[in-house]
Structure 1
């Protein structure tokens, strides 16, 4: 059972009244740690810990932080485009220091796939998870195809409750969705 998220009503009130900056500050100062703890309690055993995590970063760092906290990768590579206006201080605050950000010149299939392939060569690991939650659709499609081509687990942070007016998930309703697990979905490719 998920624990109650402290300050949730205060956050909802601020966000609903248009005080978005203050709501975001409150979220990262007081709510997000509880969201992380709930998520990890629920999903830390969903996949093996360790290995390498490839994350696609869009405008919201929260989902890739949640996945990283649940999986606890030894190596974490984050892919994003140069034109992103993401505040990396949230990554610095909530992620361990073992992550690297790869900035792509564009979101094309070629750029994303090539960058992921280069990182695979630089970080060889039989246990790779690809988090496709963030980024533009073209980046997510590229990452998914890469993950399938190279036998990676593919995950997506979803949610059970959505606040339509705020266009945000309800804090604490996040779900780790294993989209593809080659060991479960195609075990025959690992038979020798």
Structure 2
């Protein structure tokens, strides 16, 4: 088990007893700030700060919040097909207003790729991180192809410990994995 996370046992008890609404309230109101701190500290030197962060959002805002708080992007754009405001209050609480959300009508390759490309044209830089943790598999696959095509660092929020009966990672065990780094994985692309 990793670092001590306050209210973890209370969250576990509520979750396992089926009191999911109360567990979620405890998680975001009392526990998640510590999870962010642990994540930032353990991943602080993995990626440079700043640049542009593209995030794929499904229904769980936690990975987006963790990545954004760790790399502190200059520009953060979230892509989602989820037109509901589920999780948006937590994103506002932990990200402030330092992000833009792009709502996509469909999760087709063409729509996702085009939306990512449009935002890259609006925010030109060679320092783009693409967080593919959330979203439907079709969105993630399309985003990953875009990321490779345009030389983005592709990241995924994973975990070291998993609570099988709750089907959730143990809070505080989250880790940032670099799935693809063009400078490391294909340096031949940058030889002049």
TM range (shorter): over 0.9
Whole-Å separation in 1 of the counterparts to 2:17 and 2:82: 32
Whole-Å separation in 1 of the counterparts to 2:150 and 2:86: 29
Whole-Å separation in 2 of the counterparts to 1:126 and 1:143: 17
Matched residue SS, 1:14: helix
| Shift in Å, 1:96 | 3.6
Which residue of structure 1 aligns with residue 70 of structure 2?
Answer: 70
| Shift in Å, 1:82 | 4.2
Whole-Å separation in 2 of the counterparts to 1:178 and 1:70: 13
Q: TM-score, normalised by structure 1?
A: 0.97
Mapped contact 2:58–2:82 kept (Cα < 8 A): no
| Shift in Å, 1:59 | 0.6
Which residue of structure 1 aligns with residue 182 of structure 2?
Answer: 182
Whole-Å separation in 1 of the counterparts to 2:125 and 2:97: 19
Q: TM-score, normalised by structure 2?
A: 0.97
Whole-Å separation in 2 of the counterparts to 1:62 and 1:46: 19
Whole-Å separation in 1 of the counterparts to 2:96 and 2:150: 26
Number of equivalences: 192
Which residue of structure 2 aligns with residue 109 of structure 1?
Answer: 109
Whole-Å separation in 2 of the counterparts to 1:27 and 1:148: 35
- 4+ long deviations beyond 2 Å: 82-87
Whole-Å separation in 1 of the counterparts to 2:83 and 2:64: 19
Mapped contact 1:58–1:84 kept (Cα < 8 A): no
Mapped contact 2:132–2:144 kept (Cα < 8 A): yes
Matched residue SS, 2:183: helix
Which residue of structure 2 aligns with residue 138 of structure 1?
Answer: 138
Mapped contact 1:44–1:70 kept (Cα < 8 A): yes
Residue 177 (structure 2) pairs with residue 171 (structure 1): no
Alignment of 1:1-192 (within 5 A): 2-84=2-84, 86-192=86-192
> What is the CA RMSD across the aligned residues, in angstroms?
1.2
Whole-Å separation in 2 of the counterparts to 1:2 and 1:183: 31
Mapped contact 2:55–2:130 kept (Cα < 8 A): yes
Gaps in structure 2 of 5+ consecutive residues: none
Mapped contact 1:82–1:106 kept (Cα < 8 A): no
Mapped contact 1:59–1:84 kept (Cα < 8 A): no
Task: Flag the 1:95–1:85 CA change in 2: closer, same or farther, 3 A.
Answer: closer
Matched residue SS, 2:102: strand
